[in-house]
Structure 1
Amino acid sequence: MKFLMLIITCFSFGVQAQNTEVTGFGIRGKVVDSVSRRPLDFVTVSLKTDNEASVRTAQTNADGTFVFQTLPLAKYILKVASVGYSPKSLTIDFVSNGLKVKDLGTINLIAVSSHLKEVVVTASKPLVSQEIDRISYDLQADPESKGQNVLQMMRKVPLLSLDADDNIQLQGNSNYKILVNGRPSSMMERSPKDILRSMPATSIQRIEVITNPPAKYDAEGLAGIINIITSKKLDNGYNGSVNASYGLPSGGPGVGGSAGMKQGKFGVSIYGGISDHNNPATESLTRRRVLGAEPSVLNQNSRSEGDSRNAYLGSELSLEIDSLHLISAQFNINGNRSETESAQRSGLTESDEILQAYRLDNRRNGRGNGMDAGLNFQLGFKSSKNRLLTFSYRYYRFSDRQNSNLLVSERMNFFNPDYRQNNLSRSSEQTLQVDYVHDIGKLNIEGGVKAIFRDNNTDFGYDSLNTEGVFARDYSRTNQYNNTQKVLSGYNSYQYSLKSWSFKVGFRVEQTIVDADFVSSDTQVKQNYFNLLPSLAVNRKLKNNSTINLAFSQRIQRPGVFELNPFVDRSNPAFETSGNPEIKPVLINSYQFSYSLQKKISLYLSASYMYSNTMMFRVSSYDSVTNVTRSTPKNTGSARLPGLNYNVRFPLTKKGDLSFNGWLGYGMVKGVNNGIRVKNEGLMHRMNVSAGYRLENSWKLNGGLYWYGGNISPQGRSNSYISSSLGIQKDLVKNKLAFSASASNPFTKYRNNRQEISDPNFIQVNDNQVYFRAYNFNINYRFGKLKEVLKKNKRGIKNDDVSGGGGL
Structure 2
Amino acid sequence: MKNVLTLIAILFTTAVLAQEKLHITGTVHGAGNPLPAASVSLLQATDSSLVKLSVTDKEGRFEFAAMPAGKYLIMATSVGFAPAYVAAEMGKAAVLRLEAVAAAMSGVTVQARKPMVETKLDKMVVNVDASPTNAGANALELLEKSPGISVDRDGNISLKGKQGVVVLMDGKQTYLSAQELANLLRSMPASQLEQVEIMTQPSAKYDAAGNAGVINLRTKKNKQTGFNGNISLSYVQGDYPKAPNSFGFNYRKGKINVFTNGGYSLWQGVNTQSLVRRFHGAGGTSVFDQIGFDKNTSHNYNARVGIDYSVDKNTTVGFVAGGRINKNEGFNTSDGRLFQLGSNATDSSITALGWDNSTWNNLTLNGNFRRVLNSAGREITADLDYISYVSKLDLMVDNRSQYPNKPEAVYLLRGNLPSNISIYSAKVDYVHPLSKETKLEAGLKSSTVNTDNNAPYETYEAGSGKWVDDVRKDHFAFREQISAGYVNFSTQLKKWGFQAGLRGEHTANKGTQKLLKKSISRSYFQLFPTAYISYAMNEQNSFGLNYGRRVERPNYADLNPFQRFLDLYTFNQGNPYLTPQFTHNIELSHVYKSKLNTTLNYTYTTDIINDILKQNDVTKVTFQTKENVATRRNIGAAVSYNAPLTKWWTTSLYGNVYNSLYKGLVNNVSLQTDITTFSFNANQQFRFANTWGAEVSGFYQSKSLATSMFVIQPVYVVSFGASKQILKNKGSIKLSVIDPFRIQKVKVLINHDNIDMQVNNLWDNRRVGLTFTYRFSKGENVQQSRRSGGAQEEQNRVGQ
Q: TM-score range by the shorter chain?
A: 0.7 to 0.9
Q: In 2, distance between residues paired with 1:328 and 1:336? A: 27
1:782 to partner: Cα distance: 0.7
**Given the alignment, which residue of 336, 356, 359 partners 1:364?**
356
Q: Is the 8 A contact 2:229 2:247 kept in 1?
A: yes
Q: Is the 8 A contact 2:191 2:246 kept in 1?
A: no
Secondary structure (helix, strand or coil) at the match of 1:562 reads helix
Q: Is the 8 A contact 1:132 1:537 kept in 2?
A: no
* Residue 180 of structure 1 pairs with residue 169 of structure 2: yes
Which amino acid letter does the alignment assign opposite residue 389 of structure 2? F
* Residue 562 of structure 1 pairs with residue 552 of structure 2: no
* Residue 393 of structure 1 pairs with residue 356 of structure 2: no
1:508 to partner: Cα distance: 0.4
1:327 to partner: Cα distance: 0.4
Q: In 2, distance between residues paired with 1:187 and 1:673? A: 27
- C-alpha distance 55-290 of structure 1, shift in aligned 2 (>3 A): closer
Q: In 2, distance between residues paired with 1:645 and 1:481? A: 43
Q: Match of 1:529?
A: 524
**Given the alignment, which residue of 203, 210, 234 partners 1:214?**
203
Q: In 1, distance between residues paired with 2:357 and 2:530? A: 44
1:450 to partner: Cα distance: 1.2
Q: Match of 1:305?
A: 295
CA displacement 1:35-56 (0-9 Å, x = unmatched): 7764799x999999xx989899
Q: Match of 2:649?
A: 656
Secondary structure (helix, strand or coil) at the match of 2:77 reads coil
1:324 to partner: Cα distance: 2.7
Q: Is the 8 A contact 2:211 2:583 kept in 1?
A: yes
Q: Match of 1:666?
A: 659
**Given the alignment, which residue of 283, 287, 290 partners 2:279?**
290
Secondary structure (helix, strand or coil) at the match of 1:232 reads coil
Q: Match of 1:720?
A: 714
> In the TM superposition, what are the counterparts of 1:594-633 in structure 2 within 5 Å?
594-598=589-593, 602-633=595-626
> In the TM superposition, what are the counterparts of 1:747-766 in structure 2 within 5 Å?
747-748=741-742, 751-766=744-759
Which amino acid letter does the alignment assign opposite residue 226 of structure 2? G
Q: Is the 8 A contact 1:371 1:396 kept in 2?
A: yes
1:217 to partner: Cα distance: 0.9
Q: Match of 2:730?
A: 736
Q: In 1, distance between residues paired with 2:421 and 2:798? A: 17
Q: Match of 2:3?
A: none
* Residue 474 of structure 1 pairs with residue 469 of structure 2: yes
Q: Is the 8 A contact 1:463 1:471 kept in 2?
A: no
1:528 to partner: Cα distance: 0.7
Q: In 2, distance between residues paired with 1:197 and 1:683? A: 30
> In the TM superposition, what are the counterparts of 1:373-452 in structure 2 within 5 Å?
373-382=365-374, 384-409=375-400, 411-412=402-403, 415=409, 417-441=411-435, 442-452=437-447
Q: Is the 8 A contact 1:45 1:81 kept in 2?
A: no
1:537 to partner: Cα distance: 1.2
Q: In 1, distance between residues paired with 2:53 and 2:252? A: 32
Q: Match of 2:11?
A: none
1:165 to partner: Cα distance: 6.1
CA displacement 1:237-270 (0-9 Å, x = unmatched): 0212111111112451121122221111111222
User: Mind listing any 5+ residue stretches in structure 1 that lack a counterpart?
Assistant: 1-18, 67-79, 87-101, 104-112
> In the TM superposition, what are the counterparts of 1:112-123 in structure 2 within 5 Å?
121=110
Q: Match of 1:498?
A: 493
> In the TM superposition, what are the counterparts of 1:164-243 in structure 2 within 5 Å?
168-185=157-174, 191-243=180-232
Q: In 1, distance between residues paired with 2:60 and 2:286? A: 91
> In the TM superposition, what are the counterparts of 1:319-330 in structure 2 within 5 Å?
319-330=309-320
Q: In 1, distance between residues paired with 2:158 and 2:713? A: 16
1:236 to partner: Cα distance: 2.4
Q: Match of 1:769?
A: 762
CA displacement 1:643-692 (0-9 Å, x = unmatched): 22222123333212222124322111123122111221212233221212
Q: Match of 2:268?
A: 278
Q: Is the 8 A contact 1:497 1:503 kept in 2?
A: yes
- TM-align CA RMSD: 3.8
Q: Is the 8 A contact 1:268 1:790 kept in 2?
A: no
CA displacement 1:593-650 (0-9 Å, x = unmatched): 1122346xx2222221111121110111211343211221111111111122222123
Secondary structure (helix, strand or coil) at the match of 2:471 reads helix
Q: In 2, distance between residues paired with 1:221 and 1:407? A: 39
Q: Match of 1:465?
A: 460
Secondary structure (helix, strand or coil) at the match of 1:420 reads strand
Secondary structure (helix, strand or coil) at the match of 2:729 reads coil
Which amino acid letter does the alignment assign opposite residue 736 of structure 2? S
Q: In 1, distance between residues paired with 2:672 and 2:432? A: 49
Q: Match of 2:87?
A: none
1:173 to partner: Cα distance: 2.6
Secondary structure (helix, strand or coil) at the match of 1:706 reads strand
1:757 to partner: Cα distance: 1.4
1:128 to partner: Cα distance: 4.3
Q: In 2, distance between residues paired with 1:631 and 1:187? A: 20
1:284 to partner: Cα distance: 2.7
Which amino acid letter does the alignment assign opposite residue 385 of structure 2? R
- C-alpha distance 167-39 of structure 1, shift in aligned 2 (>3 A): closer
1:760 to partner: Cα distance: 1.8
Q: Match of 1:453?
A: 448
Q: In 2, distance between residues paired with 1:755 and 1:783? A: 47
Q: In 2, distance between residues paired with 1:56 and 1:263? A: 29
Q: In 1, distance between residues paired with 2:133 and 2:288? A: 46
1:364 to partner: Cα distance: 2.3
CA displacement 1:749-799 (0-9 Å, x = unmatched): x75421111222131111222233211111111111344346424995132
Which amino acid letter does the alignment assign opposite residue 654 of structure 2? N
Q: Match of 1:577?
A: 572
Q: In 1, distance between residues paired with 2:353 and 2:23? A: 78
1:464 to partner: Cα distance: 0.9
* Residue 82 of structure 1 pairs with residue 73 of structure 2: no
Q: Match of 1:509?
A: 504
- C-alpha distance 652-765 of structure 1, shift in aligned 2 (>3 A): same
Which amino acid letter does the alignment assign opposite residue 675 of structure 1? N
- C-alpha distance 266-493 of structure 1, shift in aligned 2 (>3 A): same
Q: Is the 8 A contact 2:230 2:773 kept in 1?
A: yes
Which amino acid letter does the alignment assign opposite residue 765 of structure 2? F
Secondary structure (helix, strand or coil) at the match of 1:543 reads coil
Q: In 2, distance between residues paired with 1:266 and 1:374? A: 17
**Given the alignment, which residue of 611, 627, 644 partners 1:634?**
627
Which amino acid letter does the alignment assign opposite residue 573 of structure 1? L
Q: Which deviates the most, 509-518 or 456-465?
A: 456-465
Q: Match of 1:110?
A: none
Q: In 2, distance between residues paired with 1:27 and 1:508? A: 36
Q: In 2, distance between residues paired with 1:26 and 1:344? A: 70
Q: Match of 1:333?
A: 323
1:311 to partner: Cα distance: 2.1
Give TM-score, length-normalised by structure 2. Answer: 0.84
Give TM-score, length-normalised by structure 1. Answer: 0.83
- C-alpha distance 400-328 of structure 1, shift in aligned 2 (>3 A): same
CA displacement 1:7-55 (0-9 Å, x = unmatched): xxxxxxxxxxxx99989x99469998557764799x999999xx98989
1:425 to partner: Cα distance: 2.9
